[in-house]
Structure 1
Amino acid sequence: MEYREARSKKLSFKGEAKCAGQGANSSNSDASAKRKSKKRHRESKDEVSHGAAGWVPVESLDDLEGPISLYHRDEQLYIIATPSKEAQVDLNEQAPALYVVGNASLMESEPLSAEQVFAARRSVPMAGPADAEAAMFSLKSFAGTYLSADRHGRVSCASAAIGALEMWSPVLLPDRGDGAVAFMIHPPGLSEGRFLSADTGNTAAESSQGGMAKSTQPARLHASGTSIGYSQVFFAKCQAAIKQKRFQSIQGGRPRSAVGHGMPDIGNAKLAGKDSESLLDRREKAKSDRYCK
């Protein structure tokens, strides 16, 4: 009897499909557990992102890494945008311009199309803190081209690669307002940098609900300013959710480490000539590895 009971239990392997009617309760239980686990994961993500919707002013250079929108405030509020794909094809126009944001304050304004967003990144990610390139950023448009300026002050967005004309140095201006920043570029052949500038006048094209009008000429951008004045002040906003995630990845002002408290100090161990042993000790405490026991 005991033999028959033992024999009736078929061996099962990982990945093997179960026959219909066998282990139904177990399958249902596993599926239910998976659904509950996914639900808890979604709820935890919702808790993390709660209150982190929309676009907020940048507060540091780190906030400039990722999607950003750029504004200029004069008698009206403007947003920088690149021409639509239709305008680029029909008019061969690739220069970004300033468009009036209709009936919205700076704090309430958000980009409403891909043309109004730039993907910002550090131009030389591997540059050290002491290198000048470490604080330089490149602004990529929705079309995959980069914002650039030449030595004559002409601003365009046609370059498909990052060079000296596409590397901007942001200067945060917290005394000018939330998210206030100026962008300086160093074109080869000039002894000093030039600042991105807004030439609004009275020619800006008013947008419809934040979009871009086609019937009038928008205000233009240039990079001829040699100092920071009213026309050189822009306001940058980033996505709140990305900013919050970046903030949560920082602990005590320093990036979180995979290793915990009490790990060996590699720098001191290297000076003492015991870096190899210290690395093994660090690996043993950081993970379960039977080869370093």
Structure 2
Amino acid sequence: MSGAYDNVRVGKLKLKGAGKFGTSGSDARERQKKRKKATVVVDEDAIRHGGWWKVEEFSQITGPVAIELFPFSYIKALDDGSFTLGAPHPEGEGPNPEEILIAVRVSDTKIALKSGYDKYLAVSASGKLVGKAEAIGSLEQWEPVFEKGEMALAASNQRFLTCKNETEIMASSDTVGMDEKVKIRSNAQRSEKTTDEEDTDASQVELHYVKQFQCFQDKKIKLNPGAVADLETAKKEGNVHETMLDRREKMKSDRMCK
């Protein structure tokens, strides 16, 4: 056999449990304890918005999105082609179907937004937000502008999206103030940010795993009241996950520990 496989070097077969130089597996286990483990960084903001996370760069704007104008309040499409501000949602709840738009990239800097009524969002001559076009033209193109972790949305008339009197949505502002700062949220799968458990406070590591597995009503997280110092010791000894499991089991509120 020739080709790319010719350059592959075949090493010795290592049996499971065999340590270095054929000794016991204690050395291997010790190395495994010291190996850094990655854990998912919990996005608390996304949890409060029902799993819809805040877009932070242009490349993330695609597919289903929601535009949050005020905390937990999203742009809502009406069947007559107009838009209004939806009622605030409770924490933990995402946008309603009529508040979900489909984002389509039309260039390296601009997007188009389609409502659930299959109409593209545009701005009228008076600056009102409307959704009546069945195709993307110059009026249906929007430019997200990012600066210092915040975002504004510029319309084809070169003005920024804003909400007047908390009901009338317009593209009428020449400058960006508090009322023009919006958030685009997405529920698309994204690459998870990771952090090193060895570099993370033990209490935060435990909180992440409790949130992942605990069955809790009334949205209250229950942590073991025991000293967190035990977790710090367990981290050094390489058995932090076993210790967390014991702590969760004592709480009798974890679906993985019953």
**Paired residue for 1:97?**
84
The structural deviation recorded for 1:197 is 0.9
Aligned residues: 149
3-state secondary structure, aligned to 1:242: coil
The structural deviation recorded for 1:119 is 0.6
Determine if the alignment matches structure 1 residue 78 to structure 2 residue 73.
yes
> Aligned AA for 2:98?
E
Structure 1 Cα separation of the partners of residues 124 and 89 of structure 2 = 31
Decide which of 228, 244, 251 is 2:191's aligned counterpart: 244
Decide which of 151, 159, 166 is 1:194's aligned counterpart: 159
Alignment of 1:199-278 (within 5 A): 199-201=164-166, 219-239=167-187, 241-244=188-191
Structure 1 Cα separation of the partners of residues 191 and 100 of structure 2 = 19
How much identity, in percent, do the aligned residues show? Answer: 23
Structure 2 Cα separation of the partners of residues 67 and 174 of structure 1 = 24
Confirm or deny: 8 A CA contact 2:68 2:182 kept in the other structure.
Answer: yes
Structure 2 Cα separation of the partners of residues 62 and 173 of structure 1 = 15
Determine if the alignment matches structure 1 residue 58 to structure 2 residue 55.
yes
> Aligned AA for 2:169?
L
Structure 2 Cα separation of the partners of residues 198 and 115 of structure 1 = 18
Q: Which runs of 4+ in 1 moved over 4 A?
A: none
> Aligned AA for 1:181?
M
Give a deviation string over 1:65-119, Cα, whole Å, max 9, x none: 111111122xx64211101xxxx2xxxx211111221433xxx4411x3211111
Larger Rg: 1
The structural deviation recorded for 1:231 is 1.4
* Runs of at least 5 residues in structure 2 that lack an aligned partner in the other structure: 1-39, 194-258
Determine if the alignment matches structure 1 residue 185 to structure 2 residue 155.
yes
> Aligned AA for 1:97?
T
Structure 2 Cα separation of the partners of residues 170 and 222 of structure 1 = 15
Give a deviation string over 1:41-74, Cα, whole Å, max 9, x none: xxxxxxxx9x89921111211111111111122x
Give a deviation string over 1:138-190, Cα, whole Å, max 9, x none: 01111110111034212101111111111000012444xxxx42111233xxx
* Runs of at least 5 residues in structure 1 that lack an aligned partner in the other structure: 1-48, 125-133, 188-192, 202-218, 248-293
RMSD of Structure 2 on Structure 1 (CA): 2.7
Structure 1 Cα separation of the partners of residues 155 and 57 of structure 2 = 19
